[in-house]
């Protein structure tokens, strides 16, 4: 019989595709005397019962939901863990209202494919988590897909802001009908807005009130 916490863990594993043991302990066993020990016991039971999958190619071990089909040493694992880290970061900052991993808009390979769609403090964001460096051409193509999405009827207005999280600063010089931001982390992005909080919304273009 699965407990409510078991079900919550499996739901998150399916949502994030893959999670490391320490993140599972942080999100689902916080407040216990030894979260990692408790997480290990529960994960071992779920694994033994065939409810989840595990890869020992990483330290700490990483786990997959029953609906996830991914090689245990897939190069995509690092990417999904980076998305998970953004979620944990935003969660600590507070007022994270929704968080979707890799939502699809339009035909595969043609439509916009953000790593994250989220609603944070009443504002929608499409977030790109760039662990690898894109060429200017590839980044231009990615931004053009967002323009096409904006001009379509799939996403309701107001259109989400586009936020690129990367150590690399991209030369995004085009005029876009939506706001585009770049930062190394979501915390850095929020901190960069603090100087704008006294400006009128129409001037800053950002609806977040930094409290």
Q: Do domains 4-74 and 77-204 have the same CATH topology?
A: no
Q: What is the pLDDT of residue 211?
A: 38
Q: What is the pLDDT of residue 133?
A: 87
Tokens coding 16: 């994030």
Q: What is the pLDDT of residue 199?
A: 56
- In eight-state DSSP terms, residue 159 is P
Does the domain at 4-74 match CATH 1.20.120.330? Answer given as: no
For the stretch 21-26, contacts whose Cβ atoms lie closer than 8 Å and that sit 24 or more positions apart, written own/partner, are 21/60, 21/61, 21/62, 21/63, 22/60, 23/81, 23/84, 23/85, 23/88, 24/63, 26/88
Query: Using CB atoms within 10 A of its CB, is residue 112 exposed (0-12), middle (13-18) or buried (19+)?
Result: buried
Residues in Cβ contact with 135 at an 8 Å cutoff, skipping those fewer than 6 apart? none
Tell me the domain boundaries of the chain. Answer: 4-74, 77-204
Q: What is the pLDDT of residue 132?
A: 87
Q: What is the pLDDT of residue 207?
A: 54
Rg (Cα) of the chain, in Å, rounded?
19
Which residue, among 127, 123, 131, has the nearest Cα to 103 in the 3D structure?
A: 127
Q: What is the pLDDT of residue 106?
A: 83
* Mean pLDDT, each 10-residue run in order, the chain (211 residues): 97 97 98 96 98 95 94 94 98 95 86 96 96 90 95 93 95 90 96 69 49 38
Query: Which pTM value belongs to this model?
Result: 0.90
Could you tell me the fold of the domain covering 77-204? Trna Endonuclease; Chain: A, domain 1 (3.40.1350)
Q: What is the pLDDT of residue 202?
A: 46
Residues in Cβ contact with 131 at an 8 Å cutoff, skipping those fewer than 6 apart? 78, 79, 82, 166
């Amino acid at each position: 019989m699965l407990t409510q916490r078991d079900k919550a863990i499996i739901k998150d594993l399916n949502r994030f595709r893959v999670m490391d043991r320490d993140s599972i302990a942080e999100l689902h066993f916080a407040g216990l005397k030894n979260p990692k020990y408790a997480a290990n016991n529960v994960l071992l039971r779920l694994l033994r019962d065939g409810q989840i999958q595990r890869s020992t190619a990483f330290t700490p071990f990483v786990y997959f939901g029953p609906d996830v089909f991914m090689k245990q040493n897939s190069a995509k694992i690092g990417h999904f863990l980076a998305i998970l880290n953004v979620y944990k970061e935003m969660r600590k900052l507070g007022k994270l209202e929704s968080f979707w991993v890799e939502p699809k808009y339009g035909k595969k390979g043609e439509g916009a494919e953000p790593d994250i769609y989220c609603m944070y403090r009443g504002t929608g964001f499409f977030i790109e988590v760039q662990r690898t460096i894109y060429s200017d051409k590839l980044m231009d193509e990615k931004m053009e897909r967002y323009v096409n999405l904006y001009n379509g009827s799939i996403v309701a207005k107001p259109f989400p802001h586009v936020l690129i999280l990367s150590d690399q600063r991209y030369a995004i010089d085009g005029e876009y009908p939506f706001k585009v931001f770049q930062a190394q982390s979501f915390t850095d992005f929020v901190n960069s807005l603090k100087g704008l909080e006294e400006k009128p919304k129409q001037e800053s273009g950002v609806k977040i009130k930094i409290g």
